[in-house]
Chains A and B, each alone.
Chain A
Amino acid sequence: MSTPALRLDRAGLIFLALTLGAAALAPVFALLVPRDSAFAMPPYVVALIGKYLCYAILAVALDLVWGYCGILSLGHGAFFALGGYAMGMYLMRQIGARGVYANPILPDFMVFLNWKELPVAWWGFHSFAYASLMVMLVPGLLAFAFGWFAFRSRVTGVYLSIITQALTYALKLAFFRNDFGFGGNNGLTDFKDVLGFSVQSDATRAALFSISALALALAYLVSKAIVSSKYGKALIAVRDSESRVRFLGYRVENYKLFVFVVSAVMAGIAGALYVPQVGIINPSEFDPGNSIEAVIWVAVGGRGTLVGAALGAIAVNFAKTYFTGAFPEYWLFGLGGLFVLVTLFLPKGLLGLLNMRRAARPAAAPPSPAAQEEGVQ
């Protein structure tokens, strides 16, 4: 891929300024401003928004494949969770002899299951460098293997979506098993420290927040670089008319595979940043429902905009936090309604609504006249 000339639009610049600003200012407000000041950021807010930022990275990753290549992955939660598990394994090994059973090598759940030695899959996870490598390698390899099979045989559209959903479902079932070796039902939790810093301390939390914000900015820049390049133009062409691109002599499957793997690696990194901030990773992260929820973040913000995807993730999750606290019974109505209303009336998302210049461009598959009429109203 040739080095692309990055031309950021206004939304992109504002977004970058916001994320970088948040990365720089959050530690100040969280640590330096006195606790009782109105500007102080309580630790739970740091953790909460840090979590949203990780979701935003996942949304950007998903937008890269769905918004620009037309691959609706209903299994991106699997890559997110795999990255999370890789980080969780590192954090488990860091507990060392401080666990309930005080075993210096084996995590508690293994001692509990009466295992005598560390499974091969856990080797090397005491090293942060190795764990970081796995955070990217495991989701990347899975995406590569899956995509290689799926795209070569031209599995597209809803078929692909269903198969990706089955993928995350299968992983969920596997991770639920105790003998699979990753903590079973309970997952991995009770983390103590990361790189020697306590995961509970305010400073670590603020640092993780800043790193997440930086990662989001980086994910945006990488995605933007990809989609602005010549390669990205071909991706968009694949999205709009796959057969035509193939007939023009492009190896469509290679284009799709590359972007799918990049996206999976990004999702893995998001998961890895997520785990130390929430303090737990368990098989429910693989739930197919989570992956579909991530899709609606992108749809709400506006697919094919990257910035919109990130904002959608933050907005929907903010609403979720608020509603599940205030009206727990109505949240699913709200979320369900969001799915229906956004697909019916906001095919370009919130950002598309704001950015009429973008909306004027021809859509991927033109909606039916009826839908357009509805959309205008």
Chain B
Amino acid sequence: MISTPLVRLATILFLLFCSTMARADAVDDALAKFFDDKFPRTEQGIDALAASGAANAPAILEALGDNRLLIDQADHLIVYQTTGGDLINAKTGEKLAGVEAGALKKVRVNNALRRAIDAAMGSLTLASPDPQKRLAAADAVFKARDATALKALDVQLAHEADPRVAEALRQARAAIIVLDSSTPSADRVAAVATLKARGDQDAQSLIDETAAKTDDPAVKAAALDAMAAIKAHLVWLNVLQNLIYGVSAASVLLLAAIGLAITFGVMGVINMAHGEMVMLGAYTTFIVQSALPPAFSQWSLAVALPLAFLVAAVVGIAIERLVIRFLYGRPLETLLATWGVSLILQQGVRSLFGANNRQVSAPDFMSGSFDWAGLQITTGRLWIVALAIIVFAALQLALRATSFGLRMRAVTQNRRMAAAMGISTSRIDMFAFALGSGVAGVAGVALSQIDNVSPNLGQGYIIDSFMVVVLGGVGNLWGTLLGALVLGVANKLLEPVIGAVLGKILLLVCIILFIQKRPRGLFALKGRAVEA
């Protein structure tokens, strides 16, 4: 749609002197065009109304689109009917009484006019007093490349105070003019530069199109140059984004696996019920959230964290005292017995809470996502990364700086020698199991935020956790950290290249090959024993 120079001039005039009076005049002039009820005139009216930026312009345009704009040519009266049925004078905004809607004539619209109305509504929000709305509107214009919004963009750009909105407006403007061959070459080159600065996928496709379509050598050269720059930038951005996903996945893996690494390290047994400890932590979160009054719902996770640790630790102690203690020296049987425990726990939770997924909501400060230098970061995931770091640091501290940690490390290194030095290995076993299970419970709180809380929650993580422990070894918690990072990041980097499932299979094969070189993982216990 090409606007007449007259309307364009009028628009700029009116909005440069944007006083209330000037606006009111503009609205009057625009409304006057509707009286003819002829499509070309109505279209001019829509454009003029949009350019006026009047407060009631959206309401009038919406009414027009819905066939609710009514005129009385004789009385020179123009009204719109609200969805509630009231009649409002479009000029004054007053409610009219004593006028029958049936006596008035509807302003006719066709599909071309409806499109014009939609575009006009878009440009009207560009002038919204709320910067967030302006930003969204500018973005919408950028995506739609709506040429009719160009004048509204120019007008808004002239007096835009918010630098972020101004940048978005410039980008939207660039998106429109870069493909418009009637624009001067220099402006289009500048537009290419603006798009290059934006540097995302949309900008890339626009510049691609420009390079393909334009005949102007200067524009073409600029576009090709920008295209190469954006491509390089996007590749990096993509890698960085996947790295972020990878670190996020690694933090989940670390939380789930670190407790396993502790119990495996100290006792040499694999706890197949470890995943169920995670599941219990997630259900604890669910219970805390349902039990807390709504006023405290923001604090539910803070309450759930210590409680989940306690619940899982107590269940862990029970398993250790009732089952694992009797299977000392028979690690394979322990594996089977704990698998049985995991089945019982799963079915127990299923009987108590039902097989359906339970909803655990995130507190406000943990939901949503934000954009940082072109990278998408989910707030909840960021908190999980933080939690993983805190848990890791706390465990390191507990192992390095407490007497319990010292004893635990002694039992890990050489159980019989530690026992000979007077350490009660049985008690250390119990506490190590409680600690490992408790940490799994904490992991459950984190997982309740990103996964379905169901009886099968733990099953989904257990094999990956094993792989982390196999890769990292049990000599050192740093091994677990490294194993989780390697697996998490490698998984996310492979995912876009060969797909999630193939990536996972490839990693499993890699681990099987890796243990050829280092059968005991990255950080193995050093010692002189033939069999550790």
Contact = CB atoms under 8 A, between A and B. Distances in A.
A170 B332 contact: no
A338 B269 CA distance: 19
Interface SS majority for chain A: helix
Given A165-B463, A333-B347, A365-B329, A340 B323 contact: yes
B347 A173 contact: no
A342 B333 CA distance: 9
B332 A370 contact: no
Contacts of A163: 470, 511-512, 515
A243 B531 contact: yes
A194 B505 CA distance: 33
Contact of A167 (B339, B504, B508): B508
A183 interface: no
A170 B339 contact: no
Interface string A292-325: 1001100100000000000000000000000000
Given A163-B470, A176-B501, A368-B326, A153 B516 contact: yes
Interface in A329-374: 329-330, 332-333, 335-340, 342-344, 347, 365-368, 370-371, 374
A367 B508 contact: no
B306 interface: no
B501 A72 contact: no
Interface of B: 264, 268-270, 323, 325-337, 339-348, 350-351, 463, 466-467, 470, 501-502, 504-505, 508-509, 511-513, 515-517, 519-520, 530-531
Contact of B509 (A170, A329, A332): A170
Contacts of A161: 270, 332, 335
Contacts of A124: none
Interface in A159-182: 159, 161-163, 165-167, 169-170, 173-174, 176-177
A332 B323 CA distance: 18
Interface stretch (A13-21, A39-47, A144-152, A195-203): A144-152
Nearest to A295: B336
Contacts of A365: 329-330
Contact of A339 (B269, B270, B328, B337): B337
Given A155-B519, A243-B530, A335-B343, A177 B330 contact: no
Contacts of B269: 158
B329 A367 contact: yes
Name, among B331, B345, B517, the residue most crowded by chain A CB atoms within 10 Å (CB to CB): B331
Contact of A296 (B336, B345, B346): B336
B333 A170 contact: no
A162 B519 CA distance: 13
Given A162-B470, A170-B508, A336 B342 contact: yes
B336 A162 contact: no
B181 to A, nearest CB: 43
Interface in A241-297: 242-243, 288, 292, 295-296
A98 interface: no
16 contacts: A150-B515, A162-B467, A170-B508, A170-B509, A292-B336, A296-B340, A332-B346, A332-B350, A336-B342, A336-B344, A339-B337, A340-B340, A343-B333, A368-B326, A368-B329, A371-B326
Contacts of B348: 333
Contact of A173 (B337, B504, B517, B519): B504
Interface residues of A, number: 53
Nearest 6 Cβ contacts at the A-B interface: A339-B340, A336-B343, A336-B344, A332-B347, A343-B337, A336-B340
A158 B341 contact: no
A347 to B, nearest CB: 7
Contacts of A34: none
A298 to B, nearest CB: 10
A149 B530 contact: no
Nearest to A162: B466
Contacts of B470: 159, 162-163
Given A153-B516, A374-B326, A340 B341 contact: yes
Contacts of A332: 343-344, 346-347, 350
A104 interface: no
A377 to B, nearest CB: 12
Given A159-B515, A335-B343, A336-B343, A299 B336 contact: yes
A165 B516 CA distance: 17
Contacts of A347: 330, 333
A4 interface: no
B27 to A, nearest CB: 59
A288 B326 contact: no
Nearest to A163: B512
B233 to A, nearest CB: 32
A295 B332 CA distance: 11
Nearest to A373: B326
Contacts of B331: 157-158
Contacts of A72: 332, 335
Nearest to A298: B336
Nearest to B328: A368
B330 to A, nearest CB: 6
A154 interface: yes
A144 to B, nearest CB: 14
Given A72-B335, A243-B531, A371-B326, A333 B344 contact: yes
A169 B336 contact: no
Contacts of A330: 347
Contacts of A340: 323, 337, 340-341, 344
Contacts of B325: 370
A158 B335 contact: yes
B88 to A, nearest CB: 58
B177 to A, nearest CB: 44
B326 A370 contact: yes
Contacts of B346: 332
Given A296-B340, A340-B337, 19 more contacts: A72-B335, A149-B513, A150-B515, A158-B335, A166-B508, A167-B508, A170-B504, A170-B505, A292-B336, A329-B351, A332-B344, A336-B342, A337-B344, A343-B333, A343-B334, A366-B329, A368-B326, A368-B328, A371-B330
B508 A169 contact: yes
Given A158-B270, A176-B501, A295-B336, A336 B512 contact: no
Contacts of A243: 530-531
Name, among B268, B335, B346, the residue most crowded by chain A CB atoms within 10 Å (CB to CB): B335
A336 B347 contact: yes
Nearest to A335: B343
Given A159-B519, A166-B511, A336-B340, A344 B323 contact: yes
A299 B502 CA distance: 34
A154 B519 contact: yes
A150 B351 CA distance: 40
B327 A329 contact: no
Name, among A70, A150, A344, the residue most crowded by chain B CB atoms within 10 Å (CB to CB): A344
Contacts of A344: 323, 326-327, 337
A342 B323 CA distance: 11
A177 B346 CA distance: 27
A153 B515 contact: yes
A336 B350 CA distance: 14
Contacts of B512: 146, 149-150, 163, 166-167
B505 A174 contact: yes
B329 A335 contact: no
Contacts of B342: 336
A165 to B, nearest CB: 7
